[in-house]
């Protein structure tokens, strides 16, 4: 005798298993492409001190105004300048402030003398992984995107950012 309820249950289990397999694959692929040590608080940047109190106040204020702005012209703020200008200290200070406020999605610091950190190949995967950790409600969607299209990690930075950091629902995280 054929049991429709059992058949539906098995079919749903197969679909759920397939979806979980996609997500697991997506997570594995994402982790393989991340740059360990890229985050502002990694041991790699331990020697980079945050800004000394009462220094860089105008720069920090301008950046935090951008962070807290309700309407922004850009979703990404690039901090650049000549060697020794204090970019690492400024970024470490801003990231620490944002983490304390519960609004840091992720950070990536480039280092010229570290292979994984001297190019942009791992940038988006690393940020997507950090976003998934910071905002668990995004984790399932990010893993699903990579699982359904593993080639996304080989696309342009613009396409990766769009699919892994801008498009995933729910956004913005609550």
Token pair for 90: 């400024």
Query: What is the tens place of the pLDDT at every residue in 126-173?
Result: 999 888 888 888 888 888 888 888 899 999 999 998 888 887 665 455
Q: How far is CA 95 from each of CA 92, 125, 126, rounded to the nearest angstrom? A: 5, 19, 15
153 vs 1, more confident: 153
Query: What is the tens place of the pLDDT at every residue in 49-93?
Result: 777 777 788 899 999 999 888 777 777 778 888 988 888 889 889
């Amino acid at each position: 005798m054929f049991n429709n309820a059992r058949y539906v249950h098995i079919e749903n289990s197969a679909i759920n298993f397939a979806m979980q397999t996609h997500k697991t694959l997506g997570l594995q692929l994402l982790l393989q492409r991340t740059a360990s040590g890229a985050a502002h608080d990694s041991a790699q940047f331990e020697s980079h001190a945050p800004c000394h109190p009462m220094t860089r106040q105008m720069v920090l204020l301008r950046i935090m105004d951008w962070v807290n702005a309700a309407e922004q012209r850009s979703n990404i703020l690039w901090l650049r300048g000549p060697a020794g200008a204090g970019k690492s200290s400024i970024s470490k200070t801003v990231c620490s402030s944002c983490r304390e406020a519960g609004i840091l999605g992720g950070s990536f610091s480039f280092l010229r003398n570290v292979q994984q950190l001297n190019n942009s190949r791992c940038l988006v995967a690393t940020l997507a992984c950090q976003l998934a950790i910071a905002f668990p409600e995004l984790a399932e969607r990010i893993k699903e995107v990579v699982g359904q299209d593993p080639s996304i990690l080989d696309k342009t930075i613009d396409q990766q950012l769009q699919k892994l950091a801008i498009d995933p629902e729910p956004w913005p995280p609550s």
